[in-house]
Structure formats: C-alpha cells, structure tokens
C-alpha cells in the first residue's frame, strides 16, 4: 500500500504538497491536485485515518442517535434514506458513521449522556426533538459538537437542519380546500414531537384563513404505521360526518388510509382527497390520485453531516441553521 512519501517521490513533489493536494488545499494548483489524485489512485493509496486519529485525539466517528419504532412492522423504513445520506457524506468527509439506536422506552437525555461518557465519537446528531429539548443545553454545556435534526422552542442558538413541516401542512390543507374539501383530517405523530406541533400550526393557519373551525375529532396522534393509520381512518370514515380530505404524515400513514378507503369501496381523488408527505418516493408508484410533498431525506442526511463537520472543524464558527422545503407534485 502506497504512502505519501512514495507518491511524492513518484511526482517529484514534497510530502507537504502531496498531503495538501489530497485535501484539495486552496494553496495547491488544480493541475497539481489532479496529478496527485491520479497517482494516489494508481498506486493504491488509502488515507490512514487511524494514524490521523492518534495524532489529533479524534475518533473520526460521527454518531446519530436514532430512536427505533419497535412496535410495528416496517415502521423504521422511512429512516433508510436519511441513514444513506448521512453514511455517504460522513465517508466522503473521512468519518465513519455510527448509528446508536434507542427504543421507545429509553430516556433521550440518558442516551446522550451515555454517548458523552463513552467519548467514542467526535460529534452527535440528535433527532425527534421535543418542546424545550433538554439535550440541546446538555450538549452545549459539555461543548460536544452536535447538530439537531429538527427544532425546539429554546432561546439558545444551536445548529439544526429541519424540514419546514409547518409550511408543508399549510400547503397540504390549502390544496385539499382547493379540491373542495372542508372536513380535513390531519395525521400527526406523538404530541410531544415538535414536528407534529409545527404541522398542527400550519394546518390551523390554513383553516383560520379559510374561516373553518377545527374539529379535534379529525386530528389523530400516533406513529401512523400502516396498521394504526388504517384503524384510525376507518373510524373516521364510519362517523356520521366523515372527512372529505386527508393530510397524511408519511407513506405508511398513506398506505393505511388507502387500505381503509379500499375496504369501504371509496376512491382517493374522488370520494376523499389526499395529500401526503413522502420521503421514499413510494407514493409516486401507487395507482391513485394523491398529492405529494416529497422530502429528500438523503439530502437532509448529507446536510446534517456537513453542518456537524463544520462544528467539529471550527467550533468558533457561527451557528448554522438550515430549513428545507418539500417539493409538491399534484399527482394528477
């Protein structure tokens, strides 16, 4: 396996120049960078991340704390694009990605404390943000580089990447109204989840603008797996005044709702209009008229790693916050 000295000798360059070229250093000419990278590939050079870790005191590992949904089949499917994006971005930046899975019964703060005590990572990604999330203050106090996937209602500045769930829910509700729906059902996740609070705010804003009252019986909380969604929506369809529109939380919630409609001989786009948030492009392959807000979760994963690496490399840099939008497809 080639090393930096061999590449330098091959090209009659200094080891310092070779090292900087492999890192795309701005002080090295682009033509030299290209020559060095070509020689490194030809000679089979592989960066020694372990040696670099010994020199810097870093682990070259990034850890994402991801809660598992262990109660229902396929409930973790929606995390796969996020994990893919984080994994590839971490590798490109010279890190390994570690997934620290927690169960629904684990305390989120204790899970972060265990990571801090283990000192086995250079930075953390936390998810499933709740109101006044105590993990943010804990990580800031411990000066552990981190980025949150989601936002919380704290006055303290902290790095985050989030999807604009409020705007997505607002647009979904308005589009359902444009189809003639006035009784619009809304799927939310657990009440403590900040993403659900923002979805509810967007829904409420659209209803208020249209002068429509909010019927609490049309708002459902849960993980909205296929089974729970089918049971919840079937109950609504059996009511005396069933919904004519539905804003789905995710693809699994959508599949459950479609199952409930099919059981009753109802057709989406005719009897009930549907708009769903989609992170896997699954909705595009369903033979039904469904409005879709696509959220590129692989891109979210890449951005999370980018922001986290910035915190590690330059802790004094300004706190970076990113809010991503969904792309709407009317599905017609």
Q: How far is CA 192 from CA 5, 130, 172, 196, in A?
A: 56, 6, 22, 8
The rounded distance, in Å, linking the Cα atoms of 287 and 203 is 27
Block means of pLDDT (10 residues each) for the chain, length 332 residues?
A: 87 92 87 93 77 68 87 73 95 92 90 92 96 96 96 95 97 97 94 91 98 96 86 97 96 95 97 96 91 95 96 88 92 64
User: What is the per-residue pLDDT for 1?
Assistant: 66
The rounded distance, in Å, linking the Cα atoms of 22 and 227 is 51
The rounded distance, in Å, linking the Cα atoms of 315 and 174 is 42
The rounded distance, in Å, linking the Cα atoms of 320 and 18 is 32
User: What is the per-residue pLDDT for 191?
Assistant: 76
> What topology does CATH give the domain 165-294?
Rossmann fold (3.40.50)
User: What is the per-residue pLDDT for 222?
Assistant: 81
The rounded distance, in Å, linking the Cα atoms of 214 and 310 is 43
Residues 62 and 96 sit within 8 Å (Cβ to Cβ): yes
User: What is the per-residue pLDDT for 23?
Assistant: 81
User: What is the per-residue pLDDT for 212?
Assistant: 96
The CATH class for the domain spanning 4-47 reads: mainly alpha
User: What is the per-residue pLDDT for 315?
Assistant: 86
Residues 257 and 263 sit within 8 Å (Cβ to Cβ): no
Model-level pTM?
0.82
Q: Where in the chain is the domain with CATH 1.10.260.40?
A: 4-47
Helix (H, G, I), strand (E, B) or coil at 292: strand
Strands in 327-329's sheet, in edge-to-edge order, are 219-221, 184-188, 245-248, 273-278, 291-294, 327-329
Residues 327 and 294 sit within 8 Å (Cβ to Cβ): yes
Q: Where in the chain is the domain with CATH 3.40.50.2300?
A: 56-163+298-326, 165-294
- CATH assignment of 56-163+298-326? 3.40.50.2300
User: What is the per-residue pLDDT for 332?
Assistant: 58
Four-CA torsion 242, 245, 246, 251, nearest 10 degrees: 120
């Amino acid at each position: 396996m080639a090393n930096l000295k061999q590449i330098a000798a091959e090209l009659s360059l200094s080891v310092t120049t070779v090292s900087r070229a492999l890192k795309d250093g701005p002080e090295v000419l682009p033509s030299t960078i290209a020559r060095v990278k070509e020689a490194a590939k030809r000679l089979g050079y592989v960066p020694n991340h372990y040696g670099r870790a010994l020199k810097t005191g870093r682990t070259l590992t990034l850890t994402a704390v991801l809660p598992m949904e262990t109660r229902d089949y396929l409930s973790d499917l929606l995390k796969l694009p996020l994990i893919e994006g984080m994994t590839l971005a971490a590798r490109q930046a010279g890190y390994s990605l570690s997934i620290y899975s927690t169960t629904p019964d684990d305390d989120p703060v204790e899970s972060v404390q265990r990571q801090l005590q283990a000192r086995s990572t250079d930075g953390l990604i936390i998810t499933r943000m709740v109101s006044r999330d105590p993990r943010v203050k804990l990580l800031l106090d411990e000066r552990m580089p981190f980025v949150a996937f989601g936002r919380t209602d704290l006055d303290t500045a902290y790095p985050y990447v989030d999807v604009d769930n409020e705007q997505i829910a607002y647009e979904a509700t308005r589009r359902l109204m444009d189809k003639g729906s006035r009784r619009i059902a809304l799927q939310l996740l657990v009440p403590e989840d900040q993403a659900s609070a923002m979805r509810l705010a967007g829904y409420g804003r659209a209803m208020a603008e249209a002068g429509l009252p909010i019927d609490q019986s049309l708002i459902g909380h849960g993980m909205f797996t296929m089974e729970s969604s089918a049971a919840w929506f079937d109950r609504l369809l059996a009511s005396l005044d069933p919904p004519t529109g539905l804003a789905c939380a995710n693809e699994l919630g959508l599949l459950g709702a479609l199952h409930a409609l099919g059981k009753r001989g109802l057709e989406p786009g005719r009897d009930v209009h549907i708009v769903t948030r989609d992170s896997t492009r699954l909705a595009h392959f369903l033979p039904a008229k469904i409005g879709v807000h696509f959220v590129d979760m692989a891109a979210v994963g890449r951005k999370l790693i980018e922001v986290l690496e910035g915190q590690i490399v330059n802790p004094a840099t300004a706190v970076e916050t990113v809010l991503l939008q969904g792309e709407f497809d009317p599905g017609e």
